[in-house]
Structure 1
């Protein structure tokens, strides 16, 4: 990899105005390594931020985009978001792989949906659902969540699903 960078003058992160490797140099180029200038062009072409291409025929005019109704679009986007979150929670509950469930949880957290595991916190019936009780002789533990049986979720502080918990109770 270092040989390719020396030959082309590319930065270690692939940015810079280094030319694309050709001939022998192309063989030294690391797999998947794309110079920054070429990557920018690829992105522009893919997402439409590049210059608009000419019409295929001289007398054909480009079609403009319709002006969106922002209120309707926002309502639809919020409804779609809610449906996707519910679908992700459903899939996470049924995921057989811990890695898949973890990845879904990370994806939800990235959009503001956080998991609730209140182990060690004071039981709050407004936020938690009691699923069981564990007897304790320690008065300090009474009314504290011993274990989370089913993870709960909140969307930016708004409760979506209460966690089902086991609570310490006095013997």
Structure 2
């Protein structure tokens, strides 16, 4: 229950912190800065990706391509094909160590999938609690059946008292 309460509280905080992300968004294009370029009119090499989110928490991200943009603004950009990227590397406009295909950093990956991660964790905790309470309920029902010997019933009650700390 605490994990579910934590997930709900986190969702509410995210919603209040940024109302623009309060709704479910699917396939929203975004860009992240990769590197500055040389001799390309102060354009920046950016990573264009699509992301889906719910309540401001990322659920899924997919990488699309590299772009050239002024300030990594997703409204105006030039798509950079693999041929253009290789030519820009050869010309020295873009550093050689840039990967041929755009990649997410570890932090971007975690942030982009945080909602999905929290939902899975909340599901695991909820399932664990449901199965634990049902197994405890079955155990108590089997011990207190009429045909169970009194010694077993007394032993079970003593074990439960010890486990609960006498409460």
Give 1 or 2: higher helix fraction: 2
Fold shared by both chains (TM-score > 0.5): no
TM-score range, shorter chain: under 0.3
TM-score (norm 1): 0.23
> What TM-score does the superposition give when structure 2 sets the normalisation length?
0.23
